Amino acid sequence: MLGWGRLLFFITLVFTLLMSAVNAEERQFNLGRLASKEEIKGWDIDVRPDGVGAPPGIGNSFDGEEVYAERCAGCHGDFGEGVDRWPELIGGEDTLDGHDPLKTTSSYWPYASTLYDYIYRAMPFGEAQSLTYDETYQIVAYLLYMGDIIDEEFQVSDKNIGKIVMPNRDGFILPDPRPDTGKINIDPCMKDCEAYSNIIGRARELDVTPEDEG
Amino acid sequence: MTKKKVSSKYLINRRQAISASLAFGTLGVSKSVSSAEVNQENLPPNLPEWTTYLGDGVDVNPYGVPSEFESHVVRRNVEWLTATAESSVNFTPIQDLEGFVTPNGLCFERHHGGVAVINPYDYRLMINGLVEREMIFTLEDLKRFPQTNRFYFLECAANGGMEWRGAQLNGCQFTFGMIHNVQYTGVTLANLLKETGIKPKAKWMLAEGGDSAGLTRSIPIEKVLDDCMIVWAMNGEALRPEQGYPARLVVPGWEGNMWVKWIRRIEFGDRPYLTREETSKYTDLLKDGQARMFTWVMEAKSVITSPSPEKPINNKGLHQLRGLAWSGRGAIKRVDVSLDGGKNWITAEIHGPVLKKCLTRFTLPFEWSGEELLIQSRAIDETGYVQPSIQELQNVRGVNSIYHNNSIGTWLVNSNGTVDNVRLG
């Protein structure tokens, strides 16, 4: 007589064998292995505009100012103005349609989630993924506060990182309209064509081309 | 808080270019490659020096290197473009290359956090998100999949980015050299993903690098399954460290930034991830302050590699004009060359094989008798797309786009044979 325990074991065994056969059939090559949840958690660090992927954490601009001063200001300046050739982080509003557009987090970046995602994955430069989740939210809060996007007391967290509206949120055009020069399936002119013929600029005169030494 | 207006680092205007030159002080007129001094004692009827003694034996260079007389054929960078070498770019010396294969050591580099050094035994590729099975592959696993070998060009979206407002850098290498073309060996994602399965809701793939920039880009699933690959070899040998060793993503015909190097993870989702690289960078700013997003394809383009600023003409008589053409939409159908600034055009000879999304070599013989020439090339691809003039691009996009300048360039051949990058208007 087969006990319930043994029967259950037997059924489970048959089911498992059956499923692995199905899996083997689906997995045409049987290469690689399944990833564990823990492995994925360690590497899956991306955060989407809707906040999906944001890890638990919270931070405001007061704490952010301190972390920023220690970890960011050396390159980006105390107020995001940029040191030497390092990027400005704040400013440039109303410059995007001008002669010298300044693209910063406050003037150009369309999503706050991208700030979190990028700072956590790549900053400080050369010390990637060394910030804690809270420190990252704090820095994001400080930058958003400096950019006049949130109030000083606002708590940025995984709950609202996908809801903060950035000033240039609607500044981007989709889909790609190219080809946009109207030159498709035409027979281009080959003889006596209209063409600009005056030399209006010479790179040699600008004199910014690197030269080989020696 | 500062609100000062500062120009883009990549796109400097004339005034700034001049101040940059003053800042660096030593920059002068671009030199032409000097011809080595001839030693008459090596010429007929004398016995050349190298015939009189034994040369090096085998294994002097277990991994061969170019001739010492080719030491000028190297990648070069423009220091004032970027703040640091770890997040910077250099340029392929296309003016010194023949055919359509770029030697591995000359393929231009673009890094965002320096070159990652990865032991291949420690390498793992994770695939997660909207797949049937979330999985991890070793490099050896990847090499056991059905193999695909393909030639593709890789062009940085910012190739020619400094030339939107005018002729700025006096070199073929600096104005067109953010491109290379090699044969890749790897597994197509269409094959690799048979192992993980893809859920019906998966519409976008995020590709993530293992370098200290953790560079990420979103790619629509149609492209992923069409022709994208994970590769481990270029031109028959392992990827070079600076090209993503031990494995990188190949996204044929699309901007180089998407070809994630040192790839460690791909994730599938139902919408794009809108990473830093596809929002604050690699978006194309228009005149009205709006910017185009997801401008992936590299449109048809061509360049005359010789004559060029680095390749002056030293003799009157017959010469072979040489150049390269390419299109991210497919194969090159035709290349026309003008010697008079675009008034008259001659169709150049195309040297096969002509492959899709691959550099194509063209040549045109011409006689030079010391007159000034304004030389241009114009590529036409199999979709019928004709490479535009810079004015046509400026009319639609303005001058602050940085990316996707595929316009026709102009070299001025002076009466003394030197060659300049010029802008016609």
Is the predicted pLDDT of residue B11 greater than 90, yes or no?
A: no
Please check whether residue B128 touches A, CB under 8 A. yes
Range A30-47 average pLDDT = 98
Under a CB-based contact definition with an 8 Å cutoff, are residues B132 and B197 in contact? yes
Of B2, B195, B275, the CB nearest to A29: B195
Cβ pairs bridging A and B (under 8 Å):
324
Is the predicted pLDDT of residue B27 greater than 70, yes or no?
A: no
Is the predicted pLDDT of residue B74 greater than 50, yes or no?
A: yes
Is the Cβ pair A204, B29 closer than 8 Å? yes
Residue to test with chain B: of A89, A127, A204, most B Cβ within 10 A? A204
Range A81-105 average pLDDT = 96
**Structure pTM?**
0.90
Is the Cβ pair A102, B380 closer than 8 Å? no
pLDDT at B17: 40
Residue to test with chain A: of B90, B128, B280, B283, most A Cβ within 10 A? B280
Q: What is the CATH number of domain B301-422?
A: 2.60.40.650
Question: 41-60 in B: which are within 8 Å (CB) of A?
Answer: none
Is the Cβ pair B279, A109 closer than 8 Å? yes
Which chain A residue is nearest to residue B310, measuring alpha carbons?
A211
Please check whether residue B270 touches A, CB under 8 A. no
Residue appearing with tokens 């919408």: B271
Is the Cβ pair B273, A48 closer than 8 Å? yes
Is the Cβ pair A80, B1 closer than 8 Å? yes
Burial string for B60-83 (b: 16+ CB within 10 Å, else e) reads: eeeeeeeeeeeeebbbbbbebbeb
The tens digit of pLDDT for each residue in B249-264 reads 999 999 999 999 999 9
Is the predicted pLDDT of residue A86 greater than 70, yes or no?
A: yes
Is the Cβ pair A82, B285 closer than 8 Å? no
| Confidence class for position A5, pLDDT limits 50, 70, 90 | low
Instruction: Say which CATH topology domain B111-291 has.
Output: Sulfite Oxidase; Chain A, domain 2 (3.90.420)
Nearest to A93, CA basis, from A140, A148, A32, A15: A148
Within 10 angstroms of residue A208's Cβ, the number of other Cβ atoms is 24
Is the Cβ pair A28, B194 closer than 8 Å? yes
pLDDT at A180: 96
| Confidence class for position B22, pLDDT limits 50, 70, 90 | very low
Please check whether residue A110 touches B, CB under 8 A. yes
The helix/strand/coil state of B172 is helix
How near does any CA of chain A get to the CA of B198, in Å? 11
Is the Cβ pair A32, B276 closer than 8 Å? no
The tens digit of pLDDT for each residue in A154-177 reads 999 999 999 999 999 999 999 999
What is the spatial distance between Cα B213 and Cα B113, in angstroms, rounded to a whole number?
Answer: 5
How near does any CA of chain A get to the CA of B7, in Å? 4
pLDDT at A4: 58
Please check whether residue A117 touches B, CB under 8 A. yes
The tens digit of pLDDT for each residue in B297-320 reads 999 999 999 999 999 999 999 999
What is the spatial distance between Cα A212 and Cα B170, in angstroms, rounded to a whole number?
Answer: 13
Pull the structure tokens for residue A109.
């970046």
The tens digit of pLDDT for each residue in B204-218 reads 999 999 999 999 999
Range A20-45 average pLDDT = 84
Domains of chain A as residue ranges with CATH: 55-157 (1.10.760.10)
Q: Which amino acid is at A36?
A: S
Domain borders along chain B are: 111-291, 301-422
Q: What radius of gyration, in Å, describes the C-alpha atoms of chain A?
A: 28
Question: 165-194 in B: which are within 8 Å (CB) of A?
Answer: 166-171, 174-175, 194
**Higher local confidence (pLDDT), A182 or A199:** A199
pLDDT at A185: 81
Chain B residues in contact with A88 (beta carbon < 8 A): 2, 6
Please check whether residue B199 touches A, CB under 8 A. no
Residue appearing with tokens 């010194």: B96
Domain B111-291 and domain B301-422, same fold? Reply is no
- Complex-level ipTM: 0.89
Please check whether residue B297 touches A, CB under 8 A. yes
Is the Cβ pair A34, B214 closer than 8 Å? no
Q: For residue B90, what are the β-bridge partners?
A: B77
| Confidence class for position B33, pLDDT limits 50, 70, 90 | very low
Which chain B residue is nearest to residue A142, measuring alpha carbons?
B1
Q: Under the phi-then-psi rule, with left for phi > 0, alpha for psi from -120 to 50, and beta for the rest, what region is B110?
A: beta
Range A106-122 average pLDDT = 98
